[in-house]
Chains A and B, each alone.
Chain A
């Protein structure tokens, strides 16, 4: 009797799974069909619809197979499969994936490698397979490990929670790596360039963290201050400083304009701050978003002043405190008895942005311990309570906007001098969104979180640029760079799925009592509210 019931249950189960898979396929078809299946192209005159049903078929098949896999092996796991089996499978997948990846990578660039002799794009397929197996293996391993731990009743918190107590050391380690990075063997120009980019976003993230993370004011137009800083430097150094002080000033302009650019951006921060003093949440977000766009539109349209869409070019590169990085006897290399190398300027730029970012961090962590920083945090928590405690909320908000904007301005100046060229195109909403994503992913208010999130997000961008192997296996004309945002989007969804409050959720109190109360450290329960 019982056996029969079980059988019939198992029977219905399979029917349910079948229906579920079919439904999944249908939904996938409905979504992917129009988006992927029909491609509007415009060859010579007129719009032509191009159909790509094979691609749709494969995508839908992959999705349905994945769902079936989850249904059979994860959600309705047969009783004889134990977590330890899954763990071992995961380990095997990781091993196979790693081998495939290494073999693929080592053969990728050589058209004569043994893989290429079998099939021209075999190496690329090996890489793709390796990446997939690695991801699958890691997922299987972690989920099985967690299940085993849970079965034993142990506390599980995932990787990040385990790492969090060592956050301080992570910070120190990252700092040390950052200091010596350009001199690590094997680090070439590309890596230093990437590190400069990451540090720029770290700095922007830290600046925005003051406004969004500490003061709790959702700012979607932060890129406006970046633009103000960049154009301040661009215009002052190319037009106004030579006009006011003569050409001789040029080697020094960066160092003279940097504080000015920060100051100007801070002023704009206050200008934005005043009208939005009484707004919070969504309303504030919309107004700041508009502000960011207004600045960009002004930059495009005020042709006489900003150069319009053409931007400003020939912006002076920074000098080593007055000594240019040029290949002559007055240049940096000659002065210090070195052989000239274009890398010297890049490395110098790297240290400039490193120092600027560190200053941002230092100032922010200091401010957090001062009344104004504490007031920011209190403001984020409860504005009414703040007011009833005698805090001037107007000033508190304006200082948050101003100081956040100032660091954006510094970063903008740096951007201008590094690029040697600025145009409104660099200051689109997407930039604000990326900076905000970095702050949110890092865990609002967390300094080290911003660093990790910048590395992940900017790294994800660059990794996609590097994925030449994808070109080999995808249809002709496929450009991985165009899928960068997709990668960032996926990274964001995953992080928000597993760490809904950002990578680092720990918040260090800004005040402790002296040792005699050290006992209470045990009582410091982590809240999840």
Chain B
């Protein structure tokens, strides 16, 4: 059966005294797209950051590809093959597109650089045209593409995407989701996707989790959740169809 790539067990994360995650269990299997949906402040970004080691969880364990990474420093976790496109893109505004991509390749072997760069430019041709432009002067959609491309430069086994559709036009959102589907189908990339745009995310994902107030309240395949009346009421009605 499917091999688990990432397993999260009983993870609890605190910001000072505030508990943001209250015992999270979650699996991402090799080759899957898994999505996590939930309302604002549910703790989705916190979970994503906890997987990467900042902030650290106070209880529970995180396992990636057979290695326990609960206590590993962030830069080592990334070296193991988890790349992240964090919430709000966080590209380097004063550096050029090319330099941003180069930073993404910080952990990978320099001899792959040209090949990976070519691949990134093939996925997002606009970035090739903009390669000498400063990151901060790109449009929002271009920045998001850059953030994803930058994460891909690390040759990850698992790609974490936090709200890639944030603030983008429906057409661009579609384009980006298309890219994610393509990377997963053709290159076997495993993707863990946090989304507000529940409709698109559930359609795209193999499996999905719903988070409420730091707890996982529901899980199932994407289509199951899409069909669930509760999900429809909470996340889809009146939302973007």
Measured in the bound complex, the distance between the Cα atoms of B17 and A364 in whole Å is 44
Additional pairs, 18, CB under 8 Å, beyond known A381-B95, A388-B84, A509-B95? A374-B106, A377-B92, A387-B75, A388-B74, A388-B78, A389-B104, A389-B151, A390-B75, A390-B154, A392-B73, A511-B98, A511-B99, A511-B102, A523-B129, A524-B132, A526-B134, A529-B94, A529-B136
Residues in A whose Cβ lies below 8 Å from that of B52 = 387-388
List CB contacts (< 8 Å) of A347-379 with chain B: 371, 374-375, 377-378
Select from chain B the residue with minimum beta-carbon distance to A393. Answer: B75
B198 vs chain A, min Cβ distance (A): 24
Partner among B73, B76, B94, B103 whose Cβ is within 8 Å of the Cβ of A507: B94
Residues in B whose Cβ lies below 8 Å from that of A526 = 134
A397 vs chain B, min Cβ distance (A): 13
B132–A389 touching, CB < 8 Å = no
A408 vs chain B, min Cβ distance (A): 25
Measured in the bound complex, the distance between the Cα atoms of B32 and A208 in whole Å is 48
B134–A527 touching, CB < 8 Å = yes
Instruction: Please tell me if B79 contacts chain A, counting CB pairs below 8 Å.
Output: yes
A529–B103 touching, CB < 8 Å = no
Chain B 42-86, CB within 8 Å of chain A: the 1/0 string?
A: 000000000010100000000000000000011111110001101
Instruction: Please tell me if B107 contacts chain A, counting CB pairs below 8 Å.
Output: yes
Measured in the bound complex, the distance between the Cα atoms of B49 and A384 in whole Å is 10
A389–B103 touching, CB < 8 Å = yes
List CB contacts (< 8 Å) of A509-524 with chain B: 509-513, 517, 520-521, 523-524
B84–A520 touching, CB < 8 Å = no
Partner among A389, A509, A517, A529 whose Cβ is within 8 Å of the Cβ of B106: A389
Instruction: Please tell me if B91 contacts chain A, counting CB pairs below 8 Å.
Output: yes
Chain B 149-185, CB within 8 Å of chain A: the 1/0 string?
A: 0110010000000000000000000000000000000
Instruction: Please tell me if A329 contacts chain B, counting CB pairs below 8 Å.
Output: no
In this complex, the member of B76, B77, B83, B95 whose beta carbon has the largest number of chain A beta carbons within 10 angstroms is B95
Please judge, given known A-B contacts A389-B106, A391-B75, whether A517 and B131 are in contact too, CB under 8 Å. yes
Please judge, given known A-B contacts A388-B84, A390-B154, whether A374 and B133 are in contact too, CB under 8 Å. no
Residues in A whose Cβ lies below 8 Å from that of B86 = 384-385, 388
B92–A385 touching, CB < 8 Å = yes
With an 8 Å Cβ cutoff, the count of chain B residues facing the other chain is 38
Instruction: Please tell me if B96 contacts chain A, counting CB pairs below 8 Å.
Output: yes
Instruction: Please tell me if A382 contacts chain B, counting CB pairs below 8 Å.
Output: yes
Please judge, given known A-B contacts A391-B75, A529-B134, A529-B137, whether A520 and B94 are in contact too, CB under 8 Å. no
Measured in the bound complex, the distance between the Cα atoms of B151 and A209 in whole Å is 29
Instruction: Please tell me if B90 contacts chain A, counting CB pairs below 8 Å.
Output: yes
Residues in B whose Cβ lies below 8 Å from that of A378 = 92, 95, 103
B99–A389 touching, CB < 8 Å = no
Please judge, given known A-B contacts A384-B86, A389-B106, whether A523 and B95 are in contact too, CB under 8 Å. no
List 18 interface pairs A-B (beta carbons < 8 Å), by A numbering.
A374-B106, A375-B103, A378-B92, A381-B94, A385-B92, A388-B78, A388-B83, A390-B75, A391-B103, A509-B99, A511-B99, A513-B98, A520-B130, A520-B132, A524-B96, A525-B137, A527-B133, A529-B136
B117 vs chain A, min Cβ distance (A): 8
A384–B132 touching, CB < 8 Å = no
B94–A374 touching, CB < 8 Å = no
Residues in A whose Cβ lies below 8 Å from that of B54 = 384, 387
Residues in A whose Cβ lies below 8 Å from that of B84 = 388
Select from chain A the residue with minimum beta-carbon distance to B138. Answer: A527
Instruction: Please tell me if B41 contacts chain A, counting CB pairs below 8 Å.
Output: no
Please judge, given known A-B contacts A375-B106, A385-B90, A388-B86, whether A509 and B96 are in contact too, CB under 8 Å. yes
Chain A 273-316, CB within 8 Å of chain B: the 1/0 string?
A: 00000000000000000000000000000000000000000000
Chain A 479-518, CB within 8 Å of chain B: the 1/0 string?
A: 0000000000000000000000000000101111100010
Chain B 102-128, CB within 8 Å of chain A: the 1/0 string?
A: 111011000000000000000000001
Select from chain A the residue with minimum beta-carbon distance to B53. Answer: A387
List CB contacts (< 8 Å) of A366-420 with chain B: 371, 374-375, 377-378, 381-382, 384-393
Residues in A whose Cβ lies below 8 Å from that of B99 = 374, 377, 509-511
Select from chain B the residue with minimum beta-carbon distance to A524. Answer: B132
A392–B75 touching, CB < 8 Å = yes
B154–A389 touching, CB < 8 Å = yes
Instruction: Please tell me if B220 contacts chain A, counting CB pairs below 8 Å.
Output: no
Instruction: Please tell me if B239 contacts chain A, counting CB pairs below 8 Å.
Output: no
A274 vs chain B, min Cβ distance (A): 16
Measured in the bound complex, the distance between the Cα atoms of B131 and A520 in whole Å is 8
Residues in B whose Cβ lies below 8 Å from that of A393 = 75
List CB contacts (< 8 Å) of A461-482 with chain B: none
Residues in A whose Cβ lies below 8 Å from that of B130 = 520, 523
Chain B 203-235, CB within 8 Å of chain A: the 1/0 string?
A: 000000000000000000000000000000000
In this complex, the member of B130, B133, B154 whose beta carbon has the largest number of chain A beta carbons within 10 angstroms is B133
Residues in B whose Cβ lies below 8 Å from that of A386 = 103
B95–A377 touching, CB < 8 Å = yes
Select from chain A the residue with minimum beta-carbon distance to B132. Answer: A524
Measured in the bound complex, the distance between the Cα atoms of B111 and A374 in whole Å is 17
Measured in the bound complex, the distance between the Cα atoms of B54 and A393 in whole Å is 12
Chain A 217-258, CB within 8 Å of chain B: the 1/0 string?
A: 000000000000000000000000000000000000000000
Select from chain B the residue with minimum beta-carbon distance to A507. Answer: B94
A521–B132 touching, CB < 8 Å = yes
Partner among B74, B77, B102 whose Cβ is within 8 Å of the Cβ of A374: B102
